[in-house]
Amino acid sequence: MDQRALYRDYHQPIYHACLRILRSSEEAEECMQDAFIKLFTKGAPVFANNAACYAWLHKVAVRGAIDRLRSLDFRIGLESESIEGHHQLRNAPSEETVIGYVSEEGDTVQKVNMIKDALASLSGGYRTILSLHLFEGYDFDEIAQVTRLRPSTVRSQYARGRQKLQEKINALWTR
């Protein structure tokens, strides 16, 4: 396994996964570097191919990013957000609604950047759960395991976060 080739091929996707969770370039870079250090120095398992190596590396980096958030009062943010809104969500927007904005006529790059900004403005708990589900492909049970939350909490945080994201996007488009 050529370490330089692995780093060259995988450092950017790993960095961006961490950045979506942490919202800090420096923290995301440190988290990415920590994952590669674990891979190269701490006796990582032997992988059948590069795809398996990438999957392991991605998992380590995402968990590291979540641990960093947790150390920055991640749990306090989730607990206060879950207390503030125990109402049932009606007419919650779907992912297709959010993504539908991007496929409309107009400046797609600008719209994508607006969506990224809206996602970045969400609190750490919402942003993490939305990012893990929508961008990283984790299901709710996997997110619950990684974040050490109950699956029902993850689902409700996802629904609330999705609604807040939709509200922020709608506010940006009506300006």
The domains found in the chain, sorted by start residue, are 3-71 (1.10.1740.10), 75-173 (1.10.10.10)
Q: Is 163 exposed, middle or buried (0-12, 13-18, 19+ CB in 10 A)?
A: middle
- What pLDDT sits at residue 55? 87
Q: What is the dihedral of CA 79, 28, 38, 60, to 10 degrees?
A: 50
Taking each helix axis from N to C end, the angle separating 95-103 and 108-120, rounded to the nearest 10 degrees, works out to 150
Tokens at 122, concatenated: 């969400």
Asked if 54 contacts 7 with a C-beta cutoff of 8 angstroms, the reply is no
Whether the predicted pLDDT of 88 surpasses 50: no
Write out pLDDT tens, residues 96-140: 444 444 444 456 677 777 777 888 888 888 888 888 888 888 889
Query: Would the pTM of this model clear 0.75, i.e. be above it?
Result: no
Write out pLDDT tens, residues 6-35: 899 999 999 998 988 888 889 899 999 999
Q: Is 111 exposed, middle or buried (0-12, 13-18, 19+ CB in 10 A)?
A: middle
Write out pLDDT tens, residues 143-167: 888 888 899 999 999 999 999 988 8
Split at pLDDT 50, 70, 90, the class of 73 is: low
Write out pLDDT tens, residues 48-65: 788 888 888 998 998 898
Amino acid at the residue 101: Y
Please report the sign of the dihedral spanned by the C-alpha atoms of residue 88, residue 151, residue 80, residue 163: negative
Task: Write down the mean pLDDT value for the chain.
Answer: 77
Please report the sign of the dihedral spanned by the C-alpha atoms of residue 65, residue 66, residue 70, residue 73: positive
- What pLDDT sits at residue 152? 93
Answer with the residue of higher pLDDT: 85 or 13: 13
